[in-house]
């Protein structure tokens, strides 16, 4: 798969300088040329105003303002960056964390240690398979995949003749 990432701006928010270097190097290897970095959520919010990113790659656990808090601030319909795709990076992959990521409005979750292949797959996913945003009293963010997949099933079977597959 060949994606042209040269015209996109990536914002990498990660407290580890080493991990920022790894992410930047991988993104550059994929052809990205505009990569802005921040070392915590507070400086990440400031960087968003300067960088106007197309994709946000965000560590979950950081000092000052963690990734989850940053996403809560961004995923507000009045925020100019509310619709930016978010790829959350974490070493904590327990089920409760994955469910929380879904509730926060994360597009993709990337587990540490990360591989170039896994990062590329997540970036490709947010570019090639954009998700519509949903607003309910308790949620604002990308439509959950289950809803998107269910819509595809119904569209593939006109007249509501679903194939019986659970989404």
**Whether the Cβ atoms of residue 11 and residue 54 lie closer than 8 Å to each other:** no
- Buried/exposed 98-108: b ≥16 CB within 10 Å, e otherwise: eeebbebbbbb
Q: Where is mean pLDDT largest: 68-72, 89-93, 147-151?
A: 68-72
Each domain of the chain, given as residue ranges in start order, spans: 9-130
User: Is pLDDT above 50 for 163?
Assistant: no
Per-residue pLDDT tens digits for 30-60: 999 999 999 999 999 999 999 999 999 999 9
Kindly indicate the confidence band of residue 164, based on its pLDDT and cuts at 50, 70 and 90: very low
Q: What is the pTM of this model?
A: 0.85
Fold of 9-130: Rossmann fold (3.40.50)
DSSP 143: P
Give tens-digit pLDDT for 88-109.
999 988 899 989 999 999 999 9
pLDDT per residue as tens digits for the range 4-19: 999 999 999 999 999 9
pLDDT value of residue 65: 93
Crossing angle of helices 95-104 and 67-74, rounded to 10°: 20
DSSP sequence for 148-164: HHHHHHHHHSGGG----
Query: 114 is written with which tokens?
Result: 């990360």
């Amino acid at each position: 798969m060949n994606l042209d990432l040269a015209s996109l701006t990536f914002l990498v928010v990660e407290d580890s300088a080493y991990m920022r270097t790894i992410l930047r190097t991988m993104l550059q290897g994929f052809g990205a040329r505009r990569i802005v970095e921040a070392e915590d959520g507070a400086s990440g919010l400031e960087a968003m105003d300067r960088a106007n990113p197309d994709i946000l790659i965000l560590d979950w656990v950081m000092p000052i303002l963690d990734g989850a808090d940053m996403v809560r601030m961004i995923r507000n319909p009045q925020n100019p960056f509310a619709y930016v795709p978010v790829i959350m990076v974490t070493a904590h992959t327990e089920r409760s964390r994955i469910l929380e990521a879904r509730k926060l409005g994360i597009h993709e979750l990337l587990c540490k240690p990360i591989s170039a292949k896994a990062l590329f797959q997540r970036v490709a996913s947010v570019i090639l398979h954009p998700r519509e945003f949903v607003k309910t009293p308790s949620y604002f963010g990308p439509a959950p995949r289950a809803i998107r997949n269910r819509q595809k099933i119904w569209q593939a079977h006109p007249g509501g003749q679903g194939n019986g597959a659970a989404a």
